[in-house]
Every structure is written in structure tokens, then in C-alpha cells.
Structure 1
């Protein structure tokens, strides 16, 4: 976990190994972010302390179309996030831990047969040791996850949970990247039937493109080959000598003439040990 700034939990895991819980708890209390979402507040029933770290535990629910009400609009974890209405499960929580907790949103009583009689805490934040916890009960399925407002809520919550220094580092990194530029064109395929077809994106240099690529934890991204050494690669494979085999498609999706073609297989090798193919 030391390779990560935050852990997001969205799952139905009834139990957790005590050693795993101790690792997660230590991660949080030493400054890591923890973002349990929706059903995560039901997890790990064998660890009563988990409820206190989250700030509460799922108890029961019905379903409805409703709009959580924001009651702390100036908090950094929700500031400028629009309220949204969607079908979702109407969570009711138990084992609340108000210690260090700030409720950002509540679900209000809707009808006489509602499963609450007073506003139910819905989205909240709290501090645990040096770490921060962001929780929202929203998020049963795509009817919520597909909403841009919900995406923005999660983004704000995650960035708040990782702390001010890491958030500033992230925001500075984004500002320093070469911006993406687009142009509307009439010949862009729209297989998904989007209301607004995707625009044409102008290319970046390989070096600038790398800043838009996320490498797995414990890995770093290095540039080995780029145009004009390779063109339109569709398959890459490394061999035991550290050479990169590349299948290039020049003809597809253009017309292919009988008996001739321009597609190639190239073998790229770094012969002088500088990390770049030559």
C-alpha cells in the first residue's frame, strides 16, 4: 500500500483477515486516503473497528429515485459539485461514529412509507490519525455511476482524502502537461451513437503523450521507440534478448491490392545500452 495515495473500496466482502485489516488501518492512520463507496459500509463485519473508521455501517435499505441534499457546500470534498437525482438504494446506517466526522450530504424523508423519519447522513468525511476518510452511500449501479456529477463527487472525495500536499502535486502535474487540442470533423466514426460525436484529437509528441499514460505501481514509463522508427503498431512482443518485435499496419483500414502490401514486422533493438532502440 505504500505505493498508493488512497484506497477506494467498492465491494461486498463480509470479512477480512485481521492482518490485512491492520495493514489497511496503519495505511490510513499514517496519512493514506480511504474512500469506501456505497456497499463498502457493509464490509468486514468481523472487525467492529471498521465501522468506526468508516464513520458508520450499512443497516438496511429500500429503493427510490431521490436527490441527496448537500448541507456543507463549502467543504473541499464537495464544493461546486452539483446535486444529482438518480435511482439508488435508500441506505440507512447504524453504528455511527460522529467523532471527527463532518456530514456533507443527507437523504431527506421523501414519503410516509420511507425507511427513515429524519434526515439520514449520506455523504461524509472524517479524519483517522493522519489519514482522511471519504464515504458516500450513493452508487448502486450505472444509473448513478454514469452521472458526471457523481464522477465529480468521487474525484473531489479522492483528492480531499489524499491530503493537501499530494493534491497540490497532482494539480501541478496536470497544469504542466501539454494540453490536448481537438477539432470537430464530419468523418469521425460514432459507433456508440453518442449524442455528440467525439472530436478529432491532434497528436502530441511521444514525450508529451507519456504524461497522459498511467503506469502500474512500482513501474516507470520509458520511451523505447517512436515515429518515424515505427508506424501504426498493432502488436508488440519482447523476446528473451530484450528486442521488441512490432507488427505495423500501414494498409488497414485502406484498400489492399491483390498480391502486394505494405504491412511489416520490425525487430527493434537497443545495441548501445542507452534504453532507446537504434
Structure 2
């Protein structure tokens, strides 16, 4: 009867130890996309393991209706890892008990059962060991959405309460809301701290500066640190694999990059930015988009940005406030570890632009490839804004991230 239900396209929701299937693991994997492996039942396979305690839930796919709009969070529960998973499951979230083990914890699976008339849907949630887990509004939302999705409901939020949906962005154990962040900072008595800009107006700001008109410019990096690059360790659970398997590649997603350079405006004078103007991204003058932008400085009719392996001059040649031309000034900087790339551009009083650089180092050349500037390593470099010269200023450090000049010209990094 159950298989007939699947043949009709019925929905299936599996919670926690519902994946534990004794010696029927092959059948269970066929039904739900993954199953627990007992060593005694399948000695040729890796046995599944568990870990109970403080764990995190990390959402790798926030585009799926079940996990849309939710943030990562930590809690006390139990995770399973080393399950036997089908290659075409769509992993929504992972956890870990070791940084070397990726452990899918939420996934969906859609198949047409043998002899079936249409695909059925399976949603699997490994969390749910602790009774208190079901009392958290964000997890209830995940489950209720999963039930609605598996049942083919048009609105996956149909069963959710407003308070449950409101918990998704800043769940307990997750990120701090911008309005509460100042409470966690220790400020010297001579200073005050106020919120100037926050989500959803801006997204993961990496760098900022003020232009001569007093406008606040920001480099937004929603995809940092990987951009479109698929880390080889993440490839088995990467959501793009199931979402568009024909375009899946172990190296890079086939789509435009999503970083951007924007300037912000306070339209009502209350000290809080409330309007954003996008200067440069894929839809605003940058072919292929910006990717892993780590700094910006103003130069003539635009900004010079760091986005290893390149340094780009992003220009507005017609004065309409939007980029219309991109000039590659330099290329060849390392990206082996995107936490250790070129960053923190600062104008020097000598007319050069100075930059910190981490251990990803590089062998920079001119944008047109006609000239090389030798090896640069972790420390400080400087370059001319016309793309004609680049040199190392200081070296011997490790992952140099952060740089600025004191009023007397002394360099701090």
C-alpha cells in the first residue's frame, strides 16, 4: 500500500531516526534518498555514526521553499553522519561534529516510483532528537514547510504561524539582529555607537568609504568567501548539483557573480541609511558580475576595486551614476584561500594606492598581460592607478588583512 501511495505521487516526511532502517537500508535509500548503515548489515559500506550535543545547522540552500529566508543557528540536538546518500538528493542544510566531516541534515528527494503516474516528494529532517527542538519556532517552521511542500501545497507557509515565520532571520542561537548588536559591544565612554546601515538594505558589507559629496559607498559581498567557486569538499552536497545537474561542475557555477558596489542615502535625515543606489554589478555595467570584492577606493569617474585575482577600475564615463565600463588594471593575485587575498586599499600621500595582501600572495601582471611585476607575498603592496607599476612595500607577515595610514603617514597593518 505504501508503494502504491508513492506511485500516486504522495508526499513523505521523515524525521530523525526514521532514516534508521535496519537491514532494509537499500529500500529506504531508494524511497527517501538516504539511509542509516549498520556495520553488521552492510560490512562493505561505511557505518553511520551519531553525535549528541551542541551542534550547528548550516543552510547550504536558502532558495528552496522549505529553507527560504532562514539563517544558521546553533542548538542542542543529535546529528547523524556517514549516511548512505543518493547522489541526486537536494541537500538543504548540513552540520558537523568535526570540521573535516560534512553531515547533511536536511534534504529533499523527488522520484517517480516504478509504475508510478507522477513523482512523489520526500523531505528528510535528521534533527529532532531533543524534545526541546520542537519548541523552537524556526524548527517548527522547517517541519511545517516540509509537510506542506511534500504534500504539494502551493503555499509552503500555509501551516505556519506569524511568530514562527518571524523567527527565521534571527533565530535563537543564530545571528544577532542589527538593532541588538550594539548591546554586545564595549564602547569607550568618550564614544557613542549608532546603527547606520543594516540588512536588508545592505548585504555583507566588506569595505566602505565616503565620496567627496559625503555619500557612503559600500562593497557588498553576499557570496563571500567562495563566490561561484565550488569547494571540492562541498561538491557532494552543493545545491546546484540537484537544482541544475546539467550545468553542475566541480569547479564553478555557470552564472553571473552577485557582488556589487553601491552608495547609500539617508533620505529623511535621521542618521539611518534608507535607500541604496547600485553603482556596479552584473546588471549595472559589469560583464559577468563582480566576485569577492574586498575593497574599493575612488578614482576619477569611478572606483578601483580589489577582487582577486584582479584589480579593476569600474567607471561611469557618462555621469549617470551607473558603471558603464570596466578596465582591468592588474591580474594574477592568488585566490587559493579567499580569506587571504588583496584587501583594504588606501590612497598614499605619494599618489600610489596601498593594499594589504595575505598568504594567497600572487604573481601580478598588467591587465593586458604585457608586463609582469614579480612575486608578491603576505604584507603590503602599492600600485599606480593607471596600471603601470606595482611593488612590494612590506613582507614577512602571514595573513595581512587590514591596513591604514596615521595622520603623519605612518602605516599600520
TM-score (norm 2): 0.32
Q: Which structure has greater helix proportion?
A: 1
* Higher RCO (C-alpha under 8 Å, 6+ residues apart): 1
